[in-house]
Amino acid sequence: MNKKRKVDESLMKLDAVQELRREKARDIEHLGNLDQQRLELLEKIKTGEEVIEKELRGIPEEHVRAWFKNLVHDG
C-alpha cells in the first residue's frame, strides 16, 4: 500500500508540474501576442502622425496653433 501511495503522489506531482508548464507556455504565447499588438499600435501611431504632418504642411502655423488651442479648451 505504501508504494502505491507514493506512486500516486508522484503522479499527482507530475501532473501538477505538467500543468504549470502548460500555463507557462500559454503565458509566453500571450505575451508574444501582446508584443505584436504593441508593435501594430506603434505603427498605426506613426502612420497617423505622418498623415497629420502631411495634412498640416500647407496650413499656416498660427492657424494650426489656434486650432489646437481651441481643441484643448473645448475638448
- What phi, psi does 9 have (nearest 5°)? -65, -40
pLDDT value of residue 75: 54
- Residue with cell string 509566453: 28
* Statement: residue 71 has pLDDT above 60: yes
pLDDT value of residue 58: 85
Q: What does the block give as the cell for 74?
A: 473645448
pLDDT per position as a tens digit, 7-64: 889 999 999 999 999 999 999 999 999 999 999 999 999 999 998 888 888 888 888 8
- Residue with cell string 481643441: 71
pLDDT per position as a tens digit, 51-62: 888 888 888 888
Would the pTM of this model clear 0.95, i.e. be above it? no
The answer to whether the beta carbons of residues 56 and 64 sit under 8 Å apart is: yes
